Chain A
Amino acid sequence: MSANRLGLAVILFLCASHLEGHAQGFAGLGTTAEGFSVPRKGVPLEFPRDHGAHPDYRIEWWYVTANLKDASGQDYGAQWTLFRSALSPQTVQGWSDPQIWLGHAAVTTKNQHYFGERLARGGVGQAGVTLQPFRAWVDEWGMQGTGAPDADPLQNLKVKAQADLFSYDLSLSAKGPLVRQGDRGYSVKSANGQASFYYSQPYYTVEGEIVLEGKPVTVTGKAWMDREWSSQPLAADQTGWDWFSLHLASGEKLMAFRLRDSGNGYSSANWVSVNGESTSLSGDEVIIEPKQTTKVGDRTIPTVWRVRIPSKSLDVVTHPLNSRSWMGTTTPYWEGPITFEGSTSGEGYLEMTGY
């Protein structure tokens, strides 16, 4: 997902001082990596190794979004994210570990958007990712592998989080293979060649429980996980992004994003077939246009979008479940469930940063 994703936020948040000079808005990521590894084309992803952390890269995330329904057909969205942001490319046992972890969790309903945030430093057990058994956690929030020892660690997961007014405990089960985004997992983010390593698991089915203001709700639905790591995924003049993950009615999946910059921007998409074959679509094949905006606080945010991919005969308009899905976290952004209709219909998630 989103080469762009929130990581940006994290980076900006942690590295701004490092990026002085041209740290304007979300453009901060565009600096060269100092001592950090840089994603290279042709380096194959390897599992389960790459499910774990890559501390030699500056940023990384484990990102789950779920479109859920309760027994009465009410829609819900749930988000669970663990970001890693390194101040330097190493890990150290103890308080001086330069790896900073950031957790975001949210539940969205038609009328409400609940969110929580956790910050932690590595090296002391407060947050981290282990492979055997798989576990990604910050404080009491966790994403834990529950599958058979010989299965892929991400095959079956238990995801839980809680904050002031909500909590959830979801079981995820993958019904399809892992999907490498971009060129076999090498995802280009700008015309200048900034890139990240990026793969997804878009085939999760979900069941579990959400508790909102003390009231438990049993839910089922679909979820999508993104794994991405990089050291300099954005160009200096890029200011933010609009990112879509769509579950099509046909069972196909679409990941599409638009990076905004001073010029025409940079768009990209991946079309994923029912059995997991991924086709990378170039910028001129993807047209993403804002249709309608919502005022959230003093920000004007486009919440209704038209997404077109002529080569795939796709032309849909997306609507948010809740146009005020605003994450008022340390670095704020918009993230929430959407539905779409047009040439096809379905549901998914939208993330917008830099507004």
Chain B
Amino acid sequence: MIKTTFLAVISHWRYRPIQLITLVTGIALATALWSGVQAINSEARASYARAASVLEQANLQQLITGDQQGIPVETYASLRQAGWKVSPVIEGTVRLGGKRIRLIGVDPLTMPQSNDAPLVKDASDLAEFIRAPGVILMSAETAAQLTDVQGLRIKLSPSVPEDAAFVDISVADRLLQRKGKVSRFVIAPDQSPSLPPIGKISPDLSIRAGGNGTDVSSLTDSFHLNLTAFGFLAFVVGLFIAYSAIGVTFSQRRGTFRTLRSLGVSLKSLTAILILELTVLALIAGSIGVAIGYVIASFLLPGVAATLQGLYGASVVGTLSFRAEWWLAGLAMALLGTAVASAQSIRQLWNMPILASAQARSLATGAERSLRVQAVLGLLLLSLAVLLTWVQGGLVTAFGILAALLLGAALMLPAVLAYTLGRAERWARKPIPRWFWADTRLQLPGLSLALMALLLALSANIGVGTMVSSFRTTFIGWLDQRLAAELYVTARTEEEAERLRAWLPSRVNTVLPIWSVDGDVLGKPVQIFGVADDATYRENWPVITGGDDVWDKIASGKGALVNEQMWRREGLKVGDRIALPGNFSVDVVGVYSDFGNPVGQVLVGLGAFGQHYPNAAKLRYGLRVQTSELDRVRSALIDDFGLPADAIVDQATLKRQSRAIFDQTFAVTGALNALTLAVAAFAMFSTLLALAASRLPQLAPLWAMGVRRRKLARLEVIRSVALWAATYFVSIPVGLALAWVLLAIVNVEAFGWRLPLMIFPIDWIYLGLAALGAALVSVYYPVRLLSKVAPAELLKVFTNER
């Protein structure tokens, strides 16, 4: 009996293969985008954890100091002689042959053995590593980019993250000019009992707990939250498809259900069979979804890797490994999504009297009531969004605002459309237009979910598009300000830099030293730059706040400019005094924008810089040159001075590279945007297809009254396009609101900079055209079915055979 019932229930799919495809596609798409994004996230996080464990042995406890200069070597001797098994690390950033890499100097004699990345395999490795000139251990990718390694022997190791290298501690000491001072100690896991407390040996040291919490993963959290939000949005849109498909199949199978129930199948077993059927479908669709998600992720991951590298300097491997956790998560999401999407249909099945069959009108009446409820709920959510913007919260609040805004707008949409249609109906005079508007209003409840999905996709598109374009415009303007010098040169050695300083002045208009040191300010790593007192800065530097005398104060050595992200993160105010490394205190006199930089930056006068950091590398210079002189100066630098060509970069190249990095960064966003829109178009298509079948009772009377099928079909097309258009117009303000939230709230929280909102109506037109195209495509097949429907089918409406 159960088997027969089951076969009866699923026989439906044989007659409606398109519905089956729609349902499976809906769930699969929802799962695909969700699990694709999750795959990217988990891959990136695994990369950070791997990098942290390789680079910092982050799983082990560390001893760190508050002293900028580092830990004296005597402390090391004291710790070891007291029995503490600690291993010293000297690390920092070094420029090797024009490329900056993170150099980690370790002592292989005392380093706790790590299974992840054995530095030295055997005795001969060890001797080679320590013995002068020493070995530099890095990945093949990094090695390929280095032109000069200061005489070190390169050894390749795939486990070393990109842009980092291991060397012996003595090599790091020499290259980073630390005079023996240790950056931190790694504490070996096996310590003797009864050791004297660290504080007794050196009160400056503190223990940092081991674990996976790394700087880079907290920095990139915001980015991943962003991706997750996108994935979730796509998931919700996919659910709309599944929801409408399930609703349609249930209502179309009411006849079957009625027959089965009359034959004595209990409601319980019928429900169980339907749940079983949906579970099987969900698992199949979920598996397809996870597979598609894997493909999506592997296409997007290189872009994400480039973004993370560009924005945060986080190194992520560009290849995807298959992880069980997101396989399972993907299937769970598919099941959950199907459950959510089918809950209402199953509840209706329970509440419906046994013999009642589906009536479009009766469904619609119920829907009109819920329209009002939805509208009120939507209004509440929009109010909540506005309210939340007043609350100072973190990134989670920011995403709360986004969610409330989008959901609120989506819930309000049917009401807004219904109102508009009502106005149109009243305005129309002739019978067919009046019928047209009234009938559209009748269809609205059935279409509203698809339209809501469309609204979400269009708004997200406009919102994210506006954000990216605003960012791009601002960024390019900022590049023009920031890259004011015509040429940038980097000397290979201090000796060469000294010759360069003597050689340049007679040949260029101005030489602008670009000297910096890394240090901790307010407990966080920052870069400190010395700037010359020059018109280039006075005229061009992108200062956001600060008085007219900013540059005089900088030149005097008492003032400092900080970048926007540091200013926001630390809640600094102009006039605040900050302590820089090396007993150097300065007043914050202004703030400048500094896009694409994850860390804080402080600008001080060149004189004061040289005084406090006499050992800073003095290798980089910006050169002001007449445009007409550019080529002559460049060739003189190469031919007369003897600088290699790759040590000279001109402004145009630098800008081109920066723009390329920027565009690469947002390629992922663009791809996700397009995918979401595609999912929404599919939702529309599946809804129209589902509705087409139930349209006959409404259309048959008109046909009987003499309206030709062709005209009816045309009206159907106009209806769909009109609904699309109305949704599109609603999406513009919603999208702009979204853009504002992204620029003014999410960006500030995630990256530490605020951007002006700029409007790009031309993009909306493109989007509108794309949406129109999608509307026409999605309406084409259902309408073609309708225009070709046999007159006999239409006649049947008037018989009792339905």
Contacts and interface: CB of A to CB of B under 8 A. Distances in A.
A18 interface: yes
Given A121-B107, A162-B83, A14 B123 contact: yes
A95 B73 CA distance: 9
Contact of B83 (A96, A100, A139): A139
Interface centre among B82, B123, B190 (most CB of A within 10 A): B123
A241 to B, nearest CB: 19
Contact of A140 (B80, B122, B180): B80
A120 B108 CA distance: 9
B126 A124 contact: no
A115 to B, nearest CB: 15
B81 A140 contact: yes
A139 B81 contact: yes
A112 interface: no
A125 B79 CA distance: 10
Nearest to B190: A164
A97 B109 CA distance: 13
A15 interface: yes
Given A120-B109, A139-B83, A14 B126 contact: yes
B583 interface: no
A124 B173 CA distance: 13
B132 interface: yes
Nearest to A127: B80
Contacts of A164: 190, 192
A95 B132 CA distance: 12
A94 B88 CA distance: 13
Contacts of A47: none
Interface in B109-141: 109-110, 122-128, 130-132
B632 interface: no
Nearest to A139: B80
B192 to A, nearest CB: 6
A16 interface: yes
A98 B109 contact: no
A143 B98 CA distance: 50
B10 interface: no
A88 B132 contact: yes
Given A96-B170, A100-B130, A139-B81, A17 B124 contact: yes
Nearest to A20: B124
Interface string B393-434: 000000000000000000000000000000000000000000
A12 interface: yes
Given A94-B73, A94-B170, A164-B190, A18 B127 contact: yes
A126 B169 contact: no
Given A17-B128, A125-B73, A12 B110 contact: no
B82 A140 contact: yes
A119 interface: yes
Interface string A92-109: 001111101000000000
Contacts of B105: 95
A73 to B, nearest CB: 30
Interface string A7-23: 00000111111101001
Contact of A121 (B83, B109, B127, B192): B109
A331 interface: yes
B711 interface: no
A96 B168 CA distance: 9
B485 to A, nearest CB: 38
Contact of B132 (A16, A98, A124): A98
A333 interface: no
Nearest to A87: B131
B131 A120 contact: no
Interface string A61-89: 00000000000000000000000000110
A94 to B, nearest CB: 5
Contacts of B192: 162, 164
A256 B585 CA distance: 70
Contacts of A132: none
Interface in B71-92: 73-74, 76-78, 80-83, 85, 88, 90
Given A94-B180, A95-B180, A100 B73 contact: no
A97 B125 CA distance: 18
Contacts of B83: 139-140, 162
A156 B612 CA distance: 52
B174 interface: yes
A330 interface: yes
Contacts of B124: 16-17, 20, 23
A57 interface: no
A278 B592 CA distance: 82
Nearest to A163: B192
B170 A125 contact: no
B63 to A, nearest CB: 15
Interface string B165-203: 000111001100000100000000010100000000000
Contact of B123 (A88, A137, A139, A330): A330
A36 to B, nearest CB: 14
Nearest to B85: A139
Interface centre among A15, A23, A140 (most CB of B within 10 A): A140
A107 to B, nearest CB: 15
B77 to A, nearest CB: 3
Contacts of A125: 73-74, 76-78, 80-81
B76 A126 contact: yes
A17 B120 CA distance: 13
A15 B77 CA distance: 25
B180 A87 contact: no
Given A98-B131, A126-B77, A13 B126 contact: yes
Interface centre among B122, B168, B170, B190 (most CB of A within 10 A): B170
Contacts of A162: 83, 192
A164 B192 CA distance: 7
A95 B123 contact: no
Contact of A100 (B77, B109, B125, B190): B109
Contacts of A139: 80-81, 83, 85
A330 B120 CA distance: 13
Interface centre among A20, A23, A124, A162 (most CB of B within 10 A): A124
Nearest to B169: A95
A12 B123 contact: yes
Contacts of B127: 13-18, 87
Contacts of B130: 87, 98, 100, 121
Nearest to B76: A124
Contacts of A23: 124
Nearest to A94: B180
Interface in A177-195: none
Contacts of B126: 13-14
B155 to A, nearest CB: 12
A125 B132 CA distance: 20
Given A125-B74, A125-B76, A96 B173 contact: yes
A120 B78 CA distance: 14
Q: Which 9 A-B pairs have the closest CB atoms?
A: A125-B77, A96-B170, A119-B109, A16-B124, A95-B170, A17-B124, A140-B83, A13-B123, A17-B128
8 contacts: A14-B123, A16-B123, A18-B131, A94-B173, A98-B130, A120-B80, A125-B81, A139-B80
Given A17-B127, A162-B192, 15 more contacts: A13-B126, A15-B127, A23-B124, A87-B132, A88-B131, A94-B170, A94-B173, A95-B169, A96-B132, A100-B109, A120-B110, A121-B107, A121-B130, A124-B77, A140-B81
Interface of B: 73-74, 76-78, 80-83, 85, 88, 90, 105, 107, 109-110, 122-128, 130-132, 168-170, 173-174, 180, 190, 192
